[in-house]
Structure 1
Amino acid sequence: MTDGPARRVTSADVARIAGVSRATVSYVLNDTPRQTISGATRARVLDAAATLGYAPSAAARTLRTGRSDVVLCLLPDWPIGQEVGSLLTHLSTEFAAAGLTFVVHPGTPADRPGGDLWKAITPAAVLAFTGFSDAGIAALRAAGVALVVALLGPGPRPHRELQATQERIGRLQAAHLADAGHLRIGYAYPDDARVRIFAEPRLDGVRAGCAERALPEPEVHTVAVDAEAAAVAVRAWRSAGVTAVCAYNDEVALAVLAGMRDTGLDAPAGLALVGVDDLPAARLAAPALTTVTTDQRAVAAHLAATVVAAVRGGERPVLDAAAVVRLVRRAST
């Protein structure tokens, strides 16, 4: 036997227990200014609400104020590793401090379109990591929902909030290797299509870094997280005269290290190597992996401030990519 849904506790229930009007309950729980409510009455209302487990209805609040407090994050079909997880955690903290509720929807190819999701939730804003169609943007605008596109792709204006950060990662990798005297650089591209949105601007940054130093284009090979497959790429780089490799991230870099061991090479003598993300495994690798790390707390603060500006008005902040991305130098270079 299963019970039906329990009846929702309402403000009328709180008012009855506290012996006050529903208006008084609303004033107390919403901390409404310019109301002369005694401390004793306020305490009775708060005690009654706590005893009953009363939670104000978000839908009712939206109807009353004309504005939701929800920020809907449409997360693409990405592997949620350390860096994405850290970003989401810090975003949740930042939005809570701003009085907003952060809701994340991880996407998969089988999911219904993002447009259906925001219509069901009626958020104050959508934080997206890929672009919306022109029709989707128009529908959001008509509904009064702010849209912030945080990585790549068009939004209402082409801000591309994190594009520069991803390119900066690749530039740092290439600059570090070039400054160490490497004249032929390779790039270890991931074999996971889901992360192409990160891999392409990082590779663009490596290309730009090579071009700035009049070096040839990087020698690009796709590298699976598999020692045998990585060994094939290692041999190809060596045949092409490559002496150093920029890897898409630390996982791919660790695969390259495994491929080097399979071919009898060590880093940095056989190939110098730079990863991205500063995973704990990168610090424990043999040799310890030089990598590029991003201050996800600062990125989250920037994105949250951008969303708040879009929802409440105000100037959109500018993210200083050079301030949030830095190289961590270790033994692999």
Structure 2
Amino acid sequence: MAEPTTKRVTSADVARVAGVSRATVSYVLNDTPRQTISAGTRTRVLDAAARLGYSPSAAARTLRTGRSDVVLCLLPDWPIGPEVGSMLSQLSSALTRHGLTLVVHPGNRQERPMTELWKAITPAAVIAYTEFSDAEIAAMRSAGVAVVEAVPRRRGRSSAVPQELVGRRQAEHLIRAGHTHLGYAYPDDQRVRFFAEPRLAGVRAACVAQRLPTPVGLTVPLDPAAASDAVRRWQAAGVTAVCAYNDEVALAVLAGVRGAGLSVPADLAVIGVDDIPTARLADPPLTTVTTDQAAVGAHLAAAVVAVMSGRAAPELPAPDIVRVVTRGSA
């Protein structure tokens, strides 16, 4: 037996239940100005639409208004952890306040060309966390798609949080605490190089500014035995404090310190990034660098609205939203 099909509710269905014309349904649901519609008729239409679960077709609305309300956010092949998830949640809420709908596509160019995605969805705007060529950006803009770049670029303004600043905040905190020989715990997941490499560059820059030795960088898997080996190598090199790529890697370093029979922060201070919920439950509680994701989401939404209106995107107040949360590990 064939599976039953679900028929989409149309404006004609709403009109039939409300006892009005389809034009009247359109006028009421779109709040069309300069139409004389009684309060009773308006109520009947709205009640019928609610009872039937009617929602206007996005494609039809785009044709009628000449503009989609969809904002397409293109992510690289990133692991979606607490920080990225928080950013997307805050961005979605901020866009909703502007009457826009967020659609997120995680993946990479090998799975499906990015040009196919934006052409299939025809969004009002694209937030790109992946690199586009100048030709690709020009093609989107020619099609009326606003483009907000959330990756650092060689020229022009970016809406990206500068990850070098995150690394500098880590190193500066440790240097102020008196540490002069730092280590860097690099992740073993190559998908996050987008974040890890500039953070390490920021740590190095802070050391150069203070004329300190180059940080000793080691890859630290999320494995206690491997982390203990890294801790022993840092100890042999005279490292007294470690900047970890993120809180998960920092927690691995804490486990490695315990496995090596040492203590934090007496033998090795540790600072992470992201302030994930488990950071405050660590032993000792983890000092970390956090970014105000509500501010990031609001900024990206404002950038989308500005670019859609033909204005320049506002500048991200990065120094104000990246800060150290001091706890017991450093």
The TM-score bracket by the shorter chain reads over 0.9
1:332 and 2:295 are equivalent in the alignment: no
SS of the residue corresponding to residue 164 of structure 2 reads helix
**C-alpha separation in 1, matches of 2:160 and 2:312:** 17
Corresponding residue for 1:137? 137
- What code does the residue aligned with 1:313 have? G
> Which of 116-125 and 99-108 deviates more?
99-108
TM-score (norm: length of structure 2): 0.95
The CA RMSD over aligned residues, in Å, is: 1.6
Cα offset, 1:311, TM superposition = 1.4
Supply the AA of the counterpart residue of 1:130.
T
CA contact (8 A) 1:152 1:197 kept: no
**Any conservation in 2 of the 1:130–1:153 contact (CA below 8 Å)?**
no
Q: Is the 8 A contact 2:161 2:316 kept in 1?
A: no
User: What per-residue deviation string (whole Å, max 9, x for no partner) do you get for residues 157-209 of structure 1?
Assistant: 63232242x22211111111101111111111111011110111211211121
Aligned pairs (5 A) from 1:54-203? 54-108=54-108, 111-153=111-153, 158-164=156-162, 166-203=163-200
Shift of 1:279: 1.5
**Aligned pairs (5 A) from 1:164-313:** 164=162, 166-313=163-310
SS at structure 2 position matched to 1:118:
helix
Percent identity for Structure 1 against Structure 2 = 67
Tell me the distance in 2 between the aligned counterparts of 1:8 and 1:229. Answer: 56
2:29 and 2:63 mapped to 1: Cα distance? Answer: 17
Measured in 2, the distance between the counterparts of 1:126 and 1:255 equals: 36
User: Where does residue 19 of structure 1 map in the other structure?
Assistant: 19
Q: Within 5 Å, which residues of 2 pair with 1:43-54? A: 43-54=43-54
Tell me, in whole angstroms, the C-alpha distance in 2 between the residues paired with 1:93 and 1:163: 19
Q: Is the 8 A contact 2:29 2:46 kept in 1?
A: yes
Counterpart CA distance in 2 for 1:143 and 1:19 is: 41
| Alpha-carbon spacing, 1:194–1:100, altered in 2? closer, same or farther (3 Å) | same
What letter matches 1:159 in structure 2?
R
Q: Tell me the CA shift for residue 300 of structure 1.
A: 0.5
Alpha carbons of structure 1 residues 184 and 296: separation in structure 2 relative to 1, 3 Å: same
Q: Distance in 1 between matches of 2:261 and 2:244?
A: 20
Q: 2:79, 2:152 → 1: CA distance? A: 17
1:100-119 residue CA offsets vs partner (Å, 9 max, x unmatched): 11111121565211111111
> Structure 1 length as normaliser, TM-score?
0.94
Separation in structure 1 between the aligned mates of residue 5 and residue 137 of structure 2, nearest angstrom: 37
* Partner amino acid, structure 2, of 1:235: R
CA distance in 1, matches of 2:152, 2:212: 27
Q: How far did 1:23 drift? A: 2.2
On the 8 A contact 1:282/1:288 being kept in 2, the answer is yes
Compared with structure 1, are the counterparts of its residues 296 and 199 closer, same or farther at alpha carbon in structure 2 (3 Å cutoff)? same
Equivalent position of 1:38 in the other structure: 38
Q: Residues 287 and 327 of structure 2 are in contact (CA less than 8 Å); yes or no, is this contact kept in structure 1?
A: yes
Q: Is the 8 A contact 2:161 2:318 kept in 1?
A: no
2:246 maps to a residue whose letter is: N
Q: Distance in 1 between matches of 2:209 and 2:159?
A: 24
